[in-house]
Amino acid sequence: MTRKENVLVLCKSIVTKLENSKSIAFPPRLRNVVAEEVFGLVSPYIMTDEDMKEKAIAKLGANAEKVAEANFTESEGFKAAKRMIRESFGDDELNGFYFLKPLKTVSGMIVSYLMRTASIDEVYETDEDLTKMIVDIVKQFNPANAH
């Protein structure tokens, strides 16, 4: 089950992999600052399984009367609410992360940040290459292995 902490680990992974590939350069003392700023930027647009559970519970609470009338058990109602919420994301779900904006858009937000922040000394890749690299990093990221 993914949690907001997994999104922070994902952001740290993005920053570290871009730095290791020599795509960006910054003072090592700013690594956590950059990762946390990226997290602050993108976390409102990435929901986790934990967020989905909270949203399903809230939806179930709002429709508790309807669920009772339909003779659902709370468990069945919860599963139905969660399924409805998940289905609303379509292709924007990846490894337990639910993107409220397309992944490419979220990656573009990170690229814009990297280009304008004073924390980054140098960016050695084009916007398009950075976007592709970030998308690939996110696609390969496995929250189960995050620590």
Nearest CA-CA partner of 13 in 41, 30, 38 = 38
Q: For 80-105, what is the mean pLDDT?
A: 74
pTM comes to 0.80
Quick one: tokens of 55? Answer: 């949203």
Strands of 11-129, DSSP E? 24-25, 46-48, 93-94, 97-99, 122-123
pLDDT given for residue 125 in this prediction: 96
Q: For 120-129, what is the mean pLDDT?
A: 97
Predicted confidence (pLDDT) at residue 74 exceeds the cutoff of 60: no
Q: For 112-125, what is the mean pLDDT?
A: 97
pLDDT given for residue 146 in this prediction: 66
Task: Give domain limits for the chain.
Answer: 4-145
